[in-house]
Amino acid sequence: MLILSFVLCKLEVVVAAQSMALSMILKHERPSDCVIIISGRNAKRIFTLDDYFNDTIRYNVYNLRWISGNTEYLHKTKEGHVFLYNVETRNSSEFLNNKTFVQVDATDYLVSADRKFVCLESNYSKKWRHSFTASYSIYDRENSIILQAFVWNYNVYIKLLATSDAIKVTTNGEENKILNGIPDWVYEEEMFSSNDAMWWSPSGKFLAYVEFNDTEVHTIEFSWYGSDQYPRTVIVPYPKAGTTIPKAKLFVVDSEDTSRVMQILVPKRIFSYSDHYLSTVTWVTDERIAVQWVKRSQNHVLLQVYDFDGNSWNANWVCTHEEKSETGWVGHYSPLHPFFAADNTSFYKIMSDSNGYKHIHYGTATPITSGPWEDIYISKVTKDAIYYVSNEHLRRPGQRNVYKIEIGKSHSAPRCLTCAVQEERCQYNFAYFSQDATYYRMGCYGALPLFSVSSEHSQITVSFKFLEDGILTFMSPSDLISVFLHFFTELWYQMMLPPNFDKSKKYPLLIDVYAGPCSQKADYRFRLNWGSYLASSENIITASFDGRGSGYQGDKILHSIYRRLGTYEVEDQLSAVRKFIDMGFIDKKRIAIWGWSYGGYVTSMALGSGSGLFKCGVAVAPVCSWEYYDSVYTERYMSRPKDNAEFYKNSTVASRAKNFKSVEYLLIHGTADDNVHFQQAAQISKALVEEQVDFEAMWYTDKNHELGGSAYRHVFTHMSHFLQKCLKETK
C-alpha cells in the first residue's frame, strides 16, 4: 500500500522516490522550518530485531575480479562456481567448479596471470582486524591436481613456479619480535589497513618487503579464558601514546637470485635521526620505487623515489617531494598513495590545497581540481585519464560520485561518470575499473543498492539488482539528511523517522554517534540496521550529527579538534541535541545516546558533561584515556603526552565520573579486545565505583573489539532492552 510523504518547508526541496519509502533530502539553515509528514494505511509490516539479524534481506555486492585483458572478469556464484564473463560478447563459461573448492574446503581464491593455476585459501582463522592465518593449495587447471604451499613463522618465502619448492628469503622472523612481510599490530591497524607488507614489482622481478622490529615495544597482556582449567595469556606488542614505537626497514629481494637482498634507506637529511613511520610503497617500474616516510608527529611526509643502478637502490634527489600541514596532520587519516603518470616520473596525489580542501595535485605543487568540496581518493590513472571519487556534485559532503579528467597537453575539466545514473536512487557511488579502464563495475550504495558493469565508450550495461522484493514487504522509516548553521559553519545531520511520523507528537530520540577525526555519519548510503528496527518497531527517532572534526568538508572543520580530542566533537553533539529539541517533535525527557569505540568515548564524555540533556546512554568498547591508546592514532591527533599534557589530562572519561549519577549508563566491552583494551572499561568502572555511581555493565568473554559471533546478536538485544526501559513513555 502506498505511503505518502511530503515536506512542509519554505526552502529548496528535492523529493527522491524510492521503492522502500519516499525520502526527503533537504538543505536549509533552520531545521525547525522543515519537517517530514508521512501518512497512509499501514499495509506493510514493521522491521523487527529478528529482521535485522536475518541475512536473507541483506544486499549482496556483485563480486567480480577483472583479469588479464580488459573485457573479461570472474564472478563467483552463490552456489560456489566461478564463471568467466566477457562483457562485450556477454558469453560466459565455467572457470572453476565448486567441487574444486570442496576438495580442500576453500573459501577464497587467487588466479595466476596466465590462468593456469588457482591458489585456494582454506582454514581461515581471523587474528586482528585485517590479519589472519590460513592454509593454501595450488590447483593446476590443466592437469586438475592440487599442490600445497605455505608461509610460516614471520619469514618471507618465494615460489618461482607453482610447482617449485619454496625458497626462504628471511631467517630472523620471531613472534612478537621480528616480523617480515606482515605488519605488526599497530602498522596493520593504523598505517597499512592491511595484513600485507610485501609488494611485487610490475614484472615480478623484485619483491619489496618490510621488516618490523618490535623488540623494544611495550606489550599489552590479557587473559584468554577458553575452556581449559587455566586461562592463557595473550601478549601483543602495542605502542601506547608516548612510548617506544616499532622500527620498520624496507628491503628488496631479487626473485631470480634470492641471495641479493638490498635495503632501501631512509633519507638521512630529514628522517633518519628522529622517530618515523613507513607509510606507503609504490612500484613505478621494475627499477624505480616510491616510498612515503612520515615523521612520528604525522604532520610531515616525505615522498622519496629510489632508482636501481644494478647493484643498489639509490635515492633520486630530483624526485623528492615533501608535504606538511601547519594546522593538523597530513591526509584524511594517513597520507594517500601517489599514482604515477605514463612518464614514470610525474605523479598525481590527493593533498590539501591552499584553501584547506583536499584535491588532486599534479606533483605536490599544482592542483588540478579546486573548490569548496573534497576529492576522496584516486581510483585509477591510465595514460589518458585520471579516475577518482569526489563529493563535488551538489556540494553535499555525504555524497560520492566517480569523475574523469582527461590527460593531454593539459588536464581537462572534470567530467562526472555517475552523477546522472539513476540520480534519485544512486547518490553514493564507487567504481572498480578494468586494466585500462575501458569497463568498470559501478557500485551504487544509495537509497537502494544497484550494481552494474558499464563502459563510457559503449552502450553495454549489465545491471544486478538486490533487495527489491524483500524490502517492499516492510513499512520502512524515512531518512532526513539536512544541514544547519553551527558556529557560522554548515554541518550535516541525518535523522531516521518512524513510519507514519506525525510532527504533532513527541518521540524519543537516540543519538547514534561516532564523531572521531575524519568520520562521517550523515551520508547518502543505504541503511537497514539497528536504527531501522528502533525507528520502525519502537518509534524511536535515531539521529547522527557530523560536528567539528568530521571529514570531507575541508581542513578547517577537520583540524578543529587537533590536539584537543574530547572537546568540540563532544560539545557539538550537545548543540545538535538542542537543535533537535527545537524542531518540536522530540520528547526532551526521553533522549539517549550510544556509540561504539570512539563513539563509545564520545557517548561517555557527553553523558559525563552534566548537560542534563540525556536520560541514558550506551558505550560499547569506549576509550577512557588517550594515554591508553596506540601511538600512531593518538599522537596523530593529540601529539605526545609530554607535549600536550593538559589536554590528555582533561580528556578522560574518568575525570567526569561524578556527573554520571544523573544518567543511566550501560558499559559494554570484550575481555579480549586487542584494539581498545579492556583496561579502558575497567578504568571507567573503577572511577564510577569510586564516585558511588550506580551503572550497568556487560562483559563479553574472549571477544574482541567487534564482539562477533554469538556476542553480536546478544549485545544488540541487550542494548534494545536497555533502551526500551530507559525511553519508555511515562504517564
Q: Is 527 left (phi over 0), alpha (psi -120 to 50) or beta?
A: beta
Q: Return the SS3 of 296.
A: coil
Per-domain boundaries in the chain: 4-43+474-726
Rounded distance, CA 591 to CA 546, Å?
Answer: 18
Q: Taking the CA of residue 217 as centre, how many other CA atoms within 13 Å lie in the half-sphere pointing to its CB?
A: 29
Query: What is d(CA 477, CA 532) in angstroms, rounded to the nearest whole number?
Result: 6
Q: Who wins on pLDDT, 442 or 365?
A: 442
pLDDT of residue 257: 93
Instruction: Report whether pLDDT(466) > 60.
Output: no
CA 573 to chain centre: 22
Mean pLDDT of 546-560: 97
In tens, the pLDDT along 36-91 reads 323 333 447 888 999 899 866 777 788 999 987 788 999 999 899 999 999 988 89
What is the spatial distance between Cα 154 and Cα 515, in angstroms, rounded to a whole number?
36
Active site residues: 597, 673, 705
What does the pLDDT read at residue 397?
A: 96
- pTM of the predicted protein model: 0.91
Taking residues 111-121, what's their average pLDDT?
89
508 burial type by CB count under 10 A (0-12 exposed, 13-18 middle, 19+ buried): buried
CATH of 4-43+474-726, one of 3.40.50.720, 3.40.50.1820, 3.40.50.2300, 1.10.1740.10: 3.40.50.1820
Residue ranges of E strands in 53-141: 65-66, 72-76, 82-86, 92-96, 106-111, 117-126, 132-140
The overall longest dimension of the chain from CA atoms, in Å, is 83
The string of pLDDT tens digits covering residues 426-457 is: 999 999 999 999 999 999 998 888 888 888 77
Report strand pairing: 478-486 vs 462-465: unpaired
Residues 38 and 501: beta-carbon distance below 8 Å: yes
pLDDT value, residue 494: 95
Q: Is 228 exposed, middle or buried (0-12, 13-18, 19+ CB in 10 A)?
A: exposed
Return all residues near 618 (Cβ < 8 A) that are at least 6 apart: 592, 593, 594, 595, 603, 666, 668, 719, 722, 723
Parallel/antiparallel/unpaired status of strands 507-513 and 586-596: parallel
Give me the half-sphere count of Cα atoms (radius 13 Å) on the Cβ side of residue 613. Answer: 26
Closest CA to 376 of 414, 354, 342, 402: 402
Rounded-to-integer distance, Cα 657 and Cα 446, Å:
41
Q: Is the dihedral of CA 666, 670, 675, 680 positive or negative?
A: positive
- Does residue 35 have a pLDDT over 80? no
**Confidence at 266, pLDDT banded by 50, 70, 90:** very high
Contacts of 259 (CB under 8 A, 6+ apart): none
Nearest to 414 by CA among 442, 386, 440, 437: 386
- Summary mean pLDDT of the chain: 89
Residue type, 171: T
Q: What 3-state class would DSSP assign to 316?
A: strand
Residue 478's pLDDT is what? 72
C-alpha cell belonging to residue 158: 618465494
